Structure 1
Amino acid sequence: MRHYDTVAHGLDLTYEDVGDPDPDPTGIGRSYEVTISVFDIVPSRQDLSAVALTNVNTPQLVADPSFYASHKLFGGRWNVPDTSRAGAAAIEKAKSDLLDFFIALMSCQEVEQRKWYGFWDYGDVMHTYDETRHVWRYDVGGYAWDNGELGTDLWLWMSFLRTGRADVFHMASALTRHLSEVDSHHTGTFAGLGSRHHVTHWGDGAKEARVASATLRRPFFYLTTDELIGDLIDTTLLADASIVTWEPLRKVPEAPPFTTPTRVRIGPDWTTLAGNWFTRWERTLEDKWLEKLKTGMRDLGAFPFGLFTGYAAAVGFDNVTGHMTDIGGEGTSSYHLSMIFGGGEFLMELVDVVTDVPEFDKAWIEFGQYYNAPNADKIARYGKSWNSGGFNNLYAKLQAYAGERLGNDSLKQAAWTVINAAGVGFGSNVTKVDIPNVLFPTNEIVNVTTNDAASYSLSQYAVLAIAPEFAPQ
């Protein structure tokens, strides 16, 4: 199977990674369920219809959202929707409308129209919409299948926890199954890694741990105790070895050299590996995983630039011990991908659980404090300034989080300033397109991307929960 293009990361047109490795589905899989219903007599058509309906809409034991919120699940910086202030109410309405739009994509009508079904495709969503052709960019490089980019699955699970919506639960379940089976490699040279977004689910040349992340499977596992998801979570530990063969920055000549077994970015690479170890530790209480996690936390806490260390947050990494090494390059490239694949939510939860590495906790709070900070503040703290890389609206959640941890209302207000400037809906105004512009009447959101829908919603959820008192009146 050839690549879509011949230019790696052609962000202007195709947005994909080409070659090294070539497309290879070895190690992916797909599960299916068979249900056997036993009757003591020949069932009536009505009985068979009822059984079929139950199998399609499988009953699931869940709790009220307020129960989940009271236990601060999965980082705890989210809340049950509160519409007491006009600004918060407007955001909640936009978020609900956005969920309705994406849920419709998985409904029978939209699935048939968009062809998002089949053994390999079911459960996934596309990355970017093409308002000119009135279709999702199913045929354009990395703009096609989303493969969980920027935390699509986490967005859906957080949305379920906040609202208790059954339709969101079922969509999140289908997406998580797809990501953990089709978009992730369980054996072979890519074991423990997943494939970045592409026309085919396994086609992109970027094989990264973040796609197969255990932390992004945890909501499904702990809400359902699904044993298959539990087994697939265990396979993510294989990434420790695979990331040596497929070093994440091997195609970036500007990145500083390293003498350690491999090189990783603090985020999203180390945050993913650390999440895999954390998940294994909480399921087994095996101390070796906790110690490996703490080893990296102590190293990061000792770096002069903390989580801003390295070119694009790249550090040397020993995959056996978990040690990281500062290889320089801080402030010379972007940090915008560091904490938006679920890494931010994981680290907020991590420091609430692992409380005996204060140097890491300090560095983590400072990352949220200074990512959106003006250059003068960065110079005062670190002795130099840099461009963090944009995505300010996505990092507003960590700005608010730093405000919470430091008791600093100015940081919370600054986070709301960023959110308000970005806009409430950020792609939630649905319009109808009729014949002859399309073959069949369809609903669309112009310029919508699943990236924006997921990552910005997660940021808004956190800011709403952390600083509700500063929501616009």
Structure 2
Amino acid sequence: MEAPIYSRRTFLQSAVATSLLAQFPAIAHGATANAAPGAAPAAKLTALRWLDRKPARFEGATFGVPWPRGQVRLPAGKQLQFKLAGAEAALPVQSWPMAYWPDGSVKWTAHAVAGGAPATDWRLENGAPPDGKMSVRRTAAQVEVSAGELVWTVPTSGQYLVAKAVRSGRVVMQELKLVALRQDGADRETEGGVTRQAFFSKITKVTVEQRGPVRAVLKLDGVHAAQGREWLPFSVRLYFYAGSESVRVVHSFIYDGDPAKDFIGGLGVSARVPMREATHDRHVRFSGEDMGVWGEAVRPITGLRRDPGQAFRDAQVAGKALPPLAGMAQTVRDGLKWIPEWGDFSLAHMSADGFTIKKRTQSGEAWIDSNGGTRTKGLVYAGGASGGVALGLKDFWQRAPVRLDVRGAAGELAEITAWLWSPSAPAMDMRSYRAAGEMDTHEEQIEGLNITYEDYEAGWDSAQGVARTSELQLWVLAATPSHQDFSHMAEQVANPARLTLSPQRIHQCGVFGDWDPVDTASPARRLLEERLALQLDQYLREVEQHRWYGFWHYGDVMHAYDNDRHMWRYDIGGYAWDNSELSTDLWLWYSYLRTGRADIFKLAEAMTRHTGEVDVYHLGRFKGFGTRHGVQHWSDSSKQPRVSNAAYRRIFFYLTADERAGDLMRELLESDADLHQVDISRKLKPDPARQGAQPGLVGASFGTVWGSLVAAWLTEWERTGEVRWRDKVVNGMQSIAALRQGWFASSAPYDHRTGKFSGPGDQAKFSNLNGVFGVVEMNSELLTLVDVPAYRKTWLQYCRTYNAPAGDLVALFGKNLGGRAMSETNSRMTAYAAHHERDGALALRAWREFFDSDTLRGTRGAPRRVDGAHTIRPLAEQRSISSNHSAQWGLAAIQNMALAGDSLDEAAKAAGLVP
């Protein structure tokens, strides 16, 4: 059911494909006369680049690559074969298809690269299959992963994620497990007390998701358990790469407790490290500020009253074994026993703005303050001169309160822990911020909504079912790392090395709808690009200025600004946390696609990790739905698929091949079956289109509901080829087109079993929200993938008409329909119709609509400095900034330039924006 849409855009994509074929004549596997079926093409395929810069240390990575339709085919039973080639190194690559075009050709491939010496410039080329440097063996009791000198043993049940890691025949790490501290009440404020109980991981299922010569992936599912109770279900993925000394750990858990009784006092990942050397040869390292390192021995020999000798001092500082003690000054040698052995070390980051380091000799003795700083990258090491374990937590200070611990370093087994929630901090409080008894009646709730913009309803502000994903890296090392090596490892934790493609290379493949790379070739384009960059820079700045950090917060942005307080409206109902309102996620991801900027990627990545987990329910009655914007991420009673929208995850998924993002999208495949449990319209005025629906049907809007569900079905069809998901998409498209008013009906009774809408659909109306939650972007893709002419017709008519003059509406409907808003941002629908109908006059109208505000005029939006006693810290403030406007204006600018760029200069001159 491929769509034969022969537009200018399709022609350009075909031209690009032709140019790619000219550049890569053997790109299609098995499709050339000189190549056997499944053979690798000989030509260079694509250039890669580092997201940031060439890393000093590379532990392996996985990335996605798109291909033009029809250019890469994979015969049955064959495997993709690639390698990385560069001037400095050549590494094997493990490759697999991620998604397919409707004609069966490969749309996206994923590639895992072995760790090793990173190259400055790498090319992805066809090559021989990688040699077998990794192996995975499974028995009923365990899975054993071998990579070089390392052998990891993963039990299939029990408490431990990894029972042991053996290096060159020696156990260097053992008993890797999860720990959660449950607290039975909030922290004491005046008097009284609380008790804590420790829960540990209990593995219920181990799945070998991937085994290969370069990468192995194990998924461990389980719960936290203690004394007959199980809670906090989790999934943990372990990623092993050839050529790497580490395992990447992706930790996801769901909060399923009673917020009034179950407070998380600590949440962590811990392992034990055998300590074999004398205590003066045992070492602890913490990452410090920037590239700095804090490093000390368990029994220090520097700074003593008597000098042990330069060689001994140098060795200990470097983390090496001391020379034979016979060469040490006798007074020091005889006095070693009097030097305290420091067994416990702790680095606590209680906020995003500072950390402290302290140590003590053992439990029960006093802590001694050591040092501190502003921000650290979140890596700790414990071990001896002959080896040990380093454990790091990504987004460390951004997710404070966090902590890194070493316990028992003076004994036979040290314990090293990365606390995702620090036990030093007040317990995690998941209760509602509202007092009991507020807004008990429907009328009171409507009144409250009208003043604070948050839709409150008792019982609908529960945190039960929200989730969070964290990323860790654990090294099993043959020696204590030098300060420089440890610093490089800390950088890898905080900013994992990523291989990426240029915006031009991605754009050539025709993926993700209507966008194009940054282009400042003309004054008008430069004007738009500068404004887009200004707005992106402002949001990057706002994260820091207003400290949008914390375990549950990092990755989200706020909704609207309060000029009077010089603060975002963090405490004003629906104006507080944004929760993907009006597609902020898509704005950031399309901005990254166009620019390739690392800072935008990182903000978009953090947002994807947040909005797909925290703002969405993963179990319970709201499972599959997200929460509208509010003071707490779960506080608003409007639970909708427009927030859980898979469109907000799929770009990250395809660029990175991230399995967790893939899980989140698959969670949504059947969520439409529960629409009847969460009546989205229960507080709205009755809608005739929703009245009299047959049993089993539920009223659903085309944009905010169906348009949000479509992304999950489309992605699953692309990933698996299962036609039932394509058919469900097509059923929706055909049934919308069959309504008397088509897309103008806005909503209709919906049957989740078939994906079809029903009813007469004879009431025309507009909803300004229908086009701002990803359906515009998804339609741009759908209409190039499936051929539903009637749907294409009604969508194009809707796009042309949404911003049309009132007289056009009267001529079409006999009256001027209400409900239209945001003409500036919805100009992209006008541009879409203009492009596909090849209507130059309509393209100019799209630009007039887009320019119909003062967004691009004068200095509007330029940040101003606010300082002194007016605010908590000096700010670069953008007055009246709104995430709704920023996201939708940005998306409109991006799509309009891609669709109607040829008319931009003419329109901008007519509007007086450029000479």
TM-score by length of 1: 0.94
1:259 to 693, 704, 711: 693
Q: Which residue of 2 aligns with 1:463?
A: 896
* 2:736 and 2:742 in contact (8 A); partners too: yes
Q: Say whether 1:106 aligns with 2:538.
A: no
SS at match of 2:748: strand
Q: Deviations over 1:369-426 (max 9, x none)?
A: 0000123222333444313421101110010110011111111100100111223449
Change (3 A) 1:72 1:21: farther
What code does the residue aligned with 1:289 have?
Answer: W
Q: Say whether 1:92 aligns with 2:529.
A: yes
User: 2:820 & 2:452 partners in 1: Cα distance?
Assistant: 21
Q: Which residue of 1 aligns with 2:456?
A: 18
Change (3 A) 1:252 1:328: farther
Q: Which residue of 1 aligns with 2:661?
A: 229
Q: Deviations over 1:242-300 (max 9, x none)?
A: 21111221222321213232111111111112222111111111111111111111111
Q: Which residue of 2 aligns with 1:55?
A: 493
Change (3 A) 1:284 1:20: farther
Q: Which residue of 2 aligns with 1:157?
A: 589
Determine which structure has the larger helix proportion and give its number.
Answer: 1
What code does the residue aligned with 1:420 have?
Answer: F
Change (3 A) 1:242 1:457: same
* 1:26 and 1:188 in contact (8 A); partners too: yes
Deviates more, 1:382-391 or 1:437-446: 382-391
Change (3 A) 1:428 1:238: farther
TM-score by length of 2: 0.49
Q: CA deviation at 1:97?
A: 1.2
Q: Say whether 1:398 aligns with 2:832.
A: no
User: 1:215 & 1:153 partners in 2: Cα distance?
Assistant: 9
1:249 to 681, 690, 693: 681
1:347 to 769, 779, 782: 779
SS at match of 1:467: helix
Deviates more, 1:372-381 or 1:286-295: 372-381
User: 2:519 & 2:563 partners in 1: Cα distance?
Assistant: 33
* 1:9 and 1:15 in contact (8 A); partners too: no
1:413 to 833, 844, 847: 844
Change (3 A) 1:3 1:375: farther
SS at match of 1:244: helix
Unmatched 5+ stretches in structure 2 = 1-431, 440-444, 910-915
What code does the residue aligned with 2:794 have?
Answer: A
What code does the residue aligned with 2:733 have?
Answer: M
Q: Which residue of 1 aligns with 2:515?
A: 78
Change (3 A) 1:33 1:424: same
Unmatched 5+ stretches in structure 1 = none
Q: Deviations over 1:332-352 (max 9, x none)?
A: 5x4100111111111111111
* 2:449 and 2:456 in contact (8 A); partners too: no
Q: CA deviation at 1:328?
A: 5.0
Change (3 A) 1:288 1:20: farther
Q: CA deviation at 1:442?
A: 1.3
User: 1:203 & 1:306 partners in 2: Cα distance?
Assistant: 35
SS at match of 2:468: coil
What is the number of equivalent residue pairs in this alignment?
462
Deviates more, 1:463-472 or 1:250-259: 250-259
Q: Which residue of 2 aligns with 1:168?
A: 600
* 2:556 and 2:610 in contact (8 A); partners too: yes
User: 1:278 & 1:251 partners in 2: Cα distance?
Assistant: 31
Q: Deviations over 1:216-240 (max 9, x none)?
A: 2110000000001101111112421
Q: CA deviation at 1:327?
A: 5.7
SS at match of 1:121: coil
Q: Which residue of 2 aligns with 1:133?
A: 565
Q: Which residue of 1 aligns with 2:854?
A: 423
Deviates more, 1:81-90 or 1:26-35: 81-90
Deviates more, 1:22-31 or 1:151-160: 22-31
In our comparison, the structure showing a higher alpha carbon Rg is: 2
Q: Say whether 1:276 aligns with 2:712.
A: yes
Deviates more, 1:182-191 or 1:33-42: 33-42
Q: Deviations over 1:108-151 (max 9, x none)?
A: xx3xxx23211111111111111100011110000000001000
SS at match of 2:512: helix
Q: Which residue of 2 aligns with 1:28?
A: 466
What is the Cα-based RMSD across aligned positions, in Å?
1.8
Determine which structure has the larger strand proportion and give its number.
Answer: 2
Change (3 A) 1:454 1:265: same
What code does the residue aligned with 1:372 have?
Answer: N
User: 2:835 & 2:446 partners in 1: Cα distance?
Assistant: 41
Change (3 A) 1:262 1:25: same
What code does the residue aligned with 1:25 have?
Answer: A
Deviates more, 1:414-423 or 1:196-205: 414-423
SS at match of 1:455: helix
Q: Deviations over 1:134-178 (max 9, x none)?
A: 011110000000001000010000000000000000000000110
Q: CA deviation at 1:360?
A: 0.4
User: 2:580 & 2:434 partners in 1: Cα distance?
Assistant: 20
Q: CA deviation at 1:99?
A: 0.8
SS at match of 1:414: helix
SS at match of 1:30: strand
2:671 to 239, 256, 275: 239
Q: CA deviation at 1:3?
A: 4.8
What code does the residue aligned with 1:168 have?
Answer: I
Q: Which residue of 2 aligns with 1:316?
A: 749
* 2:741 and 2:762 in contact (8 A); partners too: no
* 1:192 and 1:209 in contact (8 A); partners too: yes
Specify which structure has the bigger relative contact order, considering alpha-carbon pairs within 8 angstroms and separated by 6 or more residues. Answer: 1
Q: Which residue of 1 aligns with 2:207?
A: none
* 2:559 and 2:577 in contact (8 A); partners too: yes
Q: CA deviation at 1:469?
A: 2.1
Taking only the aligned residue pairs, the percentage that are identical comes to: 36
Deviates more, 1:53-62 or 1:165-174: 53-62
User: 2:739 & 2:500 partners in 1: Cα distance?
Assistant: 43
Q: Say whether 1:120 aligns with 2:552.
A: yes
Q: Deviations over 1:15-71 (max 9, x none)?
A: 111217521112111111120123322112222111111211111111111112212
SS at match of 1:73: coil
Q: Say whether 1:142 aligns with 2:574.
A: yes
What code does the residue aligned with 1:315 have?
Answer: A
SS at match of 2:467: coil
Change (3 A) 1:379 1:20: farther
* 1:126 and 1:144 in contact (8 A); partners too: yes
* 2:742 and 2:761 in contact (8 A); partners too: no
1:433 to 866, 869, 879: 866
